[in-house]
Amino acid sequence: MATNTDDDAANTATPPRLPDRFYGRSGAVYRGSLAGTLVALAYLVVLAVYLATTSVDVIDPSRAGYPLVWFSVGAAALAAATAAGGRGGNTTAVGDVPRWAVGVAMAYVLLLAGVSGLVSFGTTGVGVSVTGALPGWGPIVLADLGVLAVAVVPFQAVGYVVLGVLLAGALAVRSGSLAAGFVGLFSCAGCLLPVVAALGSAVGIPLFEGVGSIRLSTVAFVTATLLLAAVVVRGGGSCRR
């Protein structure tokens, strides 16, 4: 018969953890590199299967590179940010943020969607259409919801959600209160830059813009994503002004 001591020991047992190389700042680089590589390989496999099983003519093969960059960089940044909660890192992980930071991040994602044109307001009809395209660019979902129009380009939508998650983590590590979090984030040059840069990634819907605009959006997204991840990994007390 098990004793109470045995039960208490079982209930308080430390859950298994990854090796130390997965935590702290060096762990952020390790996790990020691993996640980015795996997502890039997965995307290339999906792209290869798509090209092998469809008769679509790819006029500009380089267009496949943009979703590859957005997906792999986004995955790398999220994975790196999760290393902040381990030994030698910051005590606030991306998955452990206050509700106010989540609310701010959601509003930020909606702002990016509005600036980019993924979401727009105005009198429309009612209907949903889905159009196929290269993986990452498609399937493109166009929804008219009466007073709201939504255009979902997968890699762009995923990228903005990644930015929102990272912003929530950045706000959380800057401080534990709403007011202090805003002041802490926006008083830090290294923290403010990615927030502004992310707006640059939302200029125009890539699907309907020229190559130059797509490249500019991609550069802005990569800059914003990596810098926000760096804010989370560095933690609240190491802002460089």
Tell me the mean pLDDT in the region 30-46. Answer: 94
Report yes or no on 11 lying in a domain. Answer: no
DSSP E strand stretches across the chain: 119-121, 126-131, 140-145, 148-152
**pLDDT exceeds cutoff 50 at 236:** no
Q: In which band, very low, low, confident or very high, does the pLDDT at 91 lie, cut at 50, 70 and 90? A: very low
Q: In which band, very low, low, confident or very high, does the pLDDT at 39 lie, cut at 50, 70 and 90? A: very high
Residue range of the domain that includes 141? 19-234
Report yes or no on 45 lying in a domain. Answer: yes
**pLDDT exceeds cutoff 60 at 65:** yes
Q: What is the CA radius of gyration of the chain?
A: 21
Order of strands across the sheet that contains 140-145: 119-121, 148-152, 140-145, 126-131
CB 234 within 8 A of CB 91: no
Report yes or no on 6 lying in a domain. Answer: no
> What is residue 158's predicted lDDT score, i.e. its pLDDT?
92
Distances (CA, A) of 65 to 58, 62, 123, 156, 214: 13, 5, 35, 13, 11
> What is residue 70's predicted lDDT score, i.e. its pLDDT?
93
Tell me the mean pLDDT in the region 218-224. Answer: 84
> What is residue 5's predicted lDDT score, i.e. its pLDDT?
52
Number of domains in the chain: 1
Q: What is the mean pLDDT of the chain?
A: 74
Report yes or no on 147 lying in a domain. Answer: yes
pTM over 0.85: no
> What is residue 233's predicted lDDT score, i.e. its pLDDT?
85
Report yes or no on 10 lying in a domain. Answer: no
Report yes or no on 114 lying in a domain. Answer: yes
> What is residue 216's predicted lDDT score, i.e. its pLDDT?
77
> What is residue 228's predicted lDDT score, i.e. its pLDDT?
85
Report yes or no on 132 lying in a domain. Answer: yes
**pLDDT exceeds cutoff 90 at 41:** yes
What is the tens place of the pLDDT at every residue in 172-185? Answer: 886 554 554 454 44
What is the tens place of the pLDDT at every residue in 94-143? Answer: 556 778 888 888 988 888 887 777 888 777 778 888 888 889 988 888 88
H/E/C letters for each residue in 6-23? HHHHHHCCCCCCCCHHHC
> What is residue 206's predicted lDDT score, i.e. its pLDDT?
44
Report yes or no on 181 lying in a domain. Answer: yes
Q: In which band, very low, low, confident or very high, does the pLDDT at 208 lie, cut at 50, 70 and 90? A: very low
